[in-house]
């Protein structure tokens, strides 16, 4: 090994000629978003994780908000939290590594109970999921007897076990209307609930939880960006505040945002969501320029290549859910999966 070669410090792995050659095609996929000078620091871990995945019969699931070296470098399945869990259920892997936050790893475990599910950093939480507990849901039931409760998938398994059905940002309207009632409770995201209320005649009672990343965007910020670029297309996630959604050209889940960009290929886009997602799409849509203030999710960013490598070496930390709680939580997710998309 050349002693001048950089080392991937966390795992003590080196950027040898063999690593450089083996990872060159991987780097090709993300060269638009990762400078060449940074690659020697990522490549040894990408190489080692690839070998460990084979050894462990493991798959890495990467959420759309993960950094490009994870999203393009080591993931087998990418998408939003539900797509990740559902597609993992179709794989014959023994081990699932969730490159996302804790509630996503729990959902993966709910849908893959016999598999080992790892979350590379157990402290990777979510402000939205942590805004409500199972005890809160029981109090809501007492306050609104007979009113069905819909939980966004961004909730703990304990909360999912207490509600009637889950939803994602992509199917929330369909799920609410599938219940055939005049009034539902939606939790925990107040802004998603308010957005759904604009799309349906069903009365929505909202919990007041917020995503700490999306609540930082403002309508004034969008107006400021529009004043700088005549051709700017603004697409926003429904976890954003109402004034942001009112100022956007398109509102949709992460999956719908990606679909919209790939279909229409706008020249310039402001994606009002977690900033790594723009990097990940930019790698695949070179003709579109992405402008954005960079709001990062600090919880997602706890997941690093070094943490994924460590998890695959030690097979820890594992996600475990008590069987009776898992059965009830799984039912809420399965009821959602049974709702037909429009
Ligand atoms: S971006 Fe928001 S909703 Fe997603 S994990 Fe981070 S805090 Fe939670």
Reported as a single tens digit per residue, the pLDDT across 158-183 is: 999 999 999 999 899 999 999 999 99
Fold of 214-291: Rossmann fold (3.40.50)
CATH number 3.30.1740.10 given to 17-125+300-314? no
- Comparing 51-55, 249-253, 282-286, 299-303, the range with the smallest average pLDDT is 282-286
Given 2.40.160.20, 2.160.10.10, 3.40.718.10, 3.40.50.10800, which CATH number is that of 129-211? 3.40.50.10800
Q: Is the CB of 130 under 6 A from ligand 1?
A: no
Whether the predicted model's global pTM rises above the 0.75 cut: yes
Domain boundaries, the chain: 17-125+300-314, 129-211, 214-291
Q: Sort 120 into a burial class: Cβ within 10 Å, 0-12 / 13-18 / 19+.
A: buried
At 6 the pLDDT is: 46
Q: State the DSSP string of 273-311.
A: S-HHHHHHHHTT-TTSEE-------TTGGG--HHHHHHH
* Probe residue for ligand 1, chosen from 106, 212, 276, 296 as the CB with the greatest number of ligand atoms within 8 Å: 212
Q: How many CB atoms lie within 10 A of CB 139?
A: 10
Give which of 277, 308, 336, 340 is closest to 105, Cα–Cα.
308
In this chain, the answer to whether the domains covering 129-211 and 214-291 adopt an identical fold is yes
Q: Is the CB of 190 under 6 A from ligand 1?
A: no
Reported as a single tens digit per residue, the pLDDT across 235-267 is: 999 999 999 999 999 999 888 898 999 999 999
- The strand order across the sheet containing 232-236 reads 250-251, 232-236, 268-272, 289-290
């Amino acid at each position: 090994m050349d002693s001048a070669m950089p080392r991937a410090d966390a795992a003590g792995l080196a950027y040898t000629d063999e690593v450089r050659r083996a990872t060159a095609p991987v780097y090709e996929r993300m060269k638009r978003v990762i400078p060449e000078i940074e690659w020697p620091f990522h490549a040894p871990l990408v190489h080692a994780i690839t070998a460990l995945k084979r050894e462990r019969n493991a798959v890495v699931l990467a959420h759309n908000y993960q950094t490009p070296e994870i999203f393009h470098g080591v993931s087998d399945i990418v998408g939003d939290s539900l797509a990740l869990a559902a597609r993992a259920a179709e794989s014959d892997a023994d081990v699932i590594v969730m490159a996302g936050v804790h509630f996503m790893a729990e959902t993966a475990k709910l849908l893959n109970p016999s598999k080992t599910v790892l979350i590379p950093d157990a402290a990777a939480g979510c402000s939205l999921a942590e805004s409500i507990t199972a005890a809160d849901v029981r109090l809501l039931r007492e306050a609104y007897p007979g009113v069905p409760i819909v939980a966004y998938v961004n909730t703990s398994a304990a909360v999912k076990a207490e509600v009637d059905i889950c939803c994602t940002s992509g199917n929330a309207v369909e799920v609410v209307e599938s219940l055939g009632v005049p009034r539902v409770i939606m939790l925990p995201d107040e802004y998603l609930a308010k957005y759904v209320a604009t799309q349906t005649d069903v009365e929505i009672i909202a919990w007041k939880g917020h995503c700490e990343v999306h609540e930082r965007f403002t309508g004034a910020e969008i107006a400021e960006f529009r004043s700088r670029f005549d051709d700017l297309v603004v697409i926003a996630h429904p976890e954003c505040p109402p004034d942001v959604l009112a100022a956007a050209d398109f509102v949709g889940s992460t999956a719908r945002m990606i679909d919209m960009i790939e279909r229409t290929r706008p020249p310039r886009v402001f994606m009002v969501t977690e900033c790594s997602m723009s990097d990940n799409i930019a790698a695949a849509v070179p003709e579109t320029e992405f402008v954005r203030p960079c709001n990062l999710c600090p919880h997602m960013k706890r997941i690093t290549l070094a943490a994924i490598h460590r998890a695959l070496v030690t097979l820890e930390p594992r996600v475990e859910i008590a069987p009776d709680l898992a059965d009830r939580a799984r039912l809420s997710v399965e009821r959602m999966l049974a709702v037909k998309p429009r």
